Amino acid sequence: DARVTQTPRDKVTEMGQEVTMRCQPILGHNTVFWYRQTMMQGLELLAYFRNRAPLDDSGMPKDRFSAEMPDATLATLKIQPSEPRDSAVYFCASGLVQAAGTNEQFFGPGTRLTVL
């Protein structure tokens, strides 16, 4: 049963610290997405990659957030320095995007980040 995995599941850190979240997409999927979910804003797209190349990171605060895919089995989202307003649940999702496809996405369990 193929699944998207994310680590850590929970992270509590202090303001100013660096946070790194990791995601292993489903093998064979060519597109990886990073989302942030809060009660106020709902699910927001931060960035996404196609075949490991960044396609769009316009949803991300660029001064402190960075997203990379060092290889096909790992996507990372870093926040440096972290701020209390970054507290949220961060989801990774992957999908196989094809010319005539339906863009179905499969989500990981999320990383709950609390910045004190």
Q: Which of residues 2-41 bind other proteins (CB under 8 A)?
A: 4, 31, 33
- Residues that contact other proteins, how many (by CB under 8 A): 25
Which of 12-20, 65-73, 76-84, 87-95 is the region at the interface with other proteins (rule: CB under 8 A)?
87-95
- By CB under 8 A, residue 48 contacts other proteins: yes
Query: Which residue, 81 or 109, is less far from other proteins as judged by CB?
Result: 109
The least CB distance from residue 3 to other proteins, in Å, is 10
Q: What distance in Å separates the CA atoms of residue 86 and residue 14, rounded to the nearest whole number?
A: 11
- By CB under 8 A, residue 50 contacts other proteins: yes
45, with CB counted inside 10 A (0-12, 13-18, 19+), is middle
CB 88 within 8 A of CB 79: no
CB 116 within 8 A of CB 84: yes
